[in-house]
Chains A and B, each alone.
Chain A
Amino acid sequence: MECSLVQEYLGDAIDRVLPTDVEQEFRAHLERCPKCRNACEMERISKQVVRQHVKHIATPQSVQASVAHSLKEVYRESLGRAGGWLERFLSPGVFIPTLAGGVVFAAFVLLLMLPNESSYDMSAHTAPNDVINLTFKNFALIRSGQFKPALVACSPESVAEFFHRSDLNFAVSVIKVPCDSYSAIWSEYEGVKVAHVLYKIGGEMLYVYQVNKDEALRGSKLTLPPAAKIALAKSGWYTDPNHPNCNVVVWTVNGTLCAASSTMNKDKLFAVLTTR
């Protein structure tokens, strides 16, 4: 093999695999040709130095937000021709969810008024596979930037579309609340697929952990306190009544179990979740 041909294969030797019929000759040439050996070594070092010093960095949240914001502006421009507030209010996309939200809210208020017989301490939420505990932990990781969304979007439809393209075994519920941005990612916990949706609403954040309902209520990987299972079976909603600071709300919708945590206090969180 000639030096010129070896030079041609240098990149392949470093970045990927050499064709099997070439490799032996290539290595043999390097053994006897110091010039090509040096060239190969220098190219390898050059790649190594770049990889070592110039890291791939995650897009800062502020940049993601500014992209979402600028897209929103463009969408808004196209919305300029839309009708007045009454027309928009009476449109199916607003009126029906508002009406449904009112009904859910009323049901939820009734649920809160019912005497709650179950009582257990906070240790109920410290099991590593407890959905409420996981919701707390994930929300903390997201807030600290250690758990980064794959998508930061402007609309709930985009998040729904994102999950629709993912291979999840449940339908992800996306709350239609006016937001600055919606973020999404999915992950696996002990082989169980989990969807994470983050809503930025003004200065507040709302995080919703979602999983297949059967996995959460009957599976072996995830767990919930017994009182939560009973409440979910009765009304489809649960919150821990004994811990005012535990602002995690759990509910089921179709075949999905959702658990929300937020920077908002519990009352405000309820209002957002139930009037959507």
Chain B
Amino acid sequence: MSRGTRKKQAEFEAEALPHMDVLYNFALRTTGNENDARDLLQETYLRAYRFWDKYEKGTNIRAWLFRIMKNSYINRYRKETKEPDKVDYDEIENFYNTIRADSTDPNDLQEKLFGHLLGDEVTKALESLPDDFRTVVILCDIEGLTYEEIAEFVECPIGTVRSRLHRGRKLLQANLYEYAKKQGVIKSD
């Protein structure tokens, strides 16, 4: 193996592999299962290595890897674009107003609304979000990325990140509200 090839491999691995966690988590939340997440992660790194010469040194490596993963996901698991469900926000808001009347502590409200939810249900609610909304919710609320970094990841202005996040969270609330209703935590009208 030539010295140049060895150098390329070493640079690639030292630079790209330490970001595996954020990619794996995104893959897991996006595909919804460990096997697909592993395959997607593998494919991402193989493509990244293949295109390593195209990576501009000194730029955001995480964002670059993330975009490769996003494209791999779209190519591999391309589905019909999900349209956001029709959500009756008024219903949630009315319910919220009624329970808020006898609550002063916000944590108490959270407990009343979603305290009985299980991790799986929240995960499912998250996975059911349309891709663009789910992506920003994962990157912000789970991975703790800044708006600026998310904007770089998804290649769109910060204003778009802000609005997708707002809409994504509203959809998530609606999904969780439905789960809570099904569980009988919240009474159906």
Contacts and interface: CB of A to CB of B under 8 A. Distances in A.
B106 A45 contact: yes
A71 B5 contact: no
B166 A63 contact: no
A79 B2 CA distance: 9
Interface string A150-161: 111111011111
Interface string B1-29: 10001110111111101101100110011
Contact of B9 (A49, A58, A64, A158): A158
A97 interface: no
Contacts of A110: none
A136 B58 CA distance: 38
A21 interface: no
Contacts of A67: 17, 20, 41-42, 45
Interface string B113-132: 11001110111001000000
A66 B38 contact: yes
A50 interface: yes
Contacts of B45: 67, 70-71
B156 interface: no
A15 B141 CA distance: 9
B69 interface: no
A161 B14 contact: yes
Interface residues of B, number: 60
Contacts of B117: 49, 53
A53 B46 contact: no
B110 interface: yes
A43 to B, nearest CB: 5
Contacts of B182: none
B181 interface: no
Interface in A48-80: 48-60, 63-64, 66-67, 70-71, 74-75, 78-79
B123 A53 contact: yes
A142 B96 CA distance: 47
Contacts of B11: 161
B7 A157 contact: yes
B140 interface: yes
**Interface bracket on A:** 35 or more
B67 interface: no
A82 interface: yes
B9 A47 contact: no
B13 A151 contact: yes
Contacts of A57: 24-25, 28
B173 A42 contact: yes
A44 interface: yes
Contacts of B147: 11, 15-16
A84 interface: no
Contact of A38 (B7, B10, B50, B97): B97
Contact of B122 (A12, A50, A164): A50
Interface string A123-156: 0000000000000000000000000001111110
Interface of B: 1, 5-7, 9-15, 17-18, 20-21, 24-25, 28-29, 34, 37-38, 41-42, 45-46, 49-50, 92-93, 96-97, 100, 106, 109-110, 113-114, 117-119, 121-123, 126, 137, 140-143, 146-147, 162, 165-166, 169-170, 172-173, 176
Given A47-B169, A66-B42, A162-B18, 7 more contacts: A12-B162, A46-B173, A53-B118, A53-B123, A56-B21, A74-B50, A160-B10
- The 4 A-B residue pairs with the shortest CB-CB distance, nearest first, are A158-B13, A157-B10, A161-B14, A53-B122
14 contacts: A16-B146, A42-B173, A45-B109, A46-B176, A50-B137, A53-B117, A67-B41, A67-B45, A75-B5, A79-B1, A152-B17, A154-B13, A157-B6, A158-B14
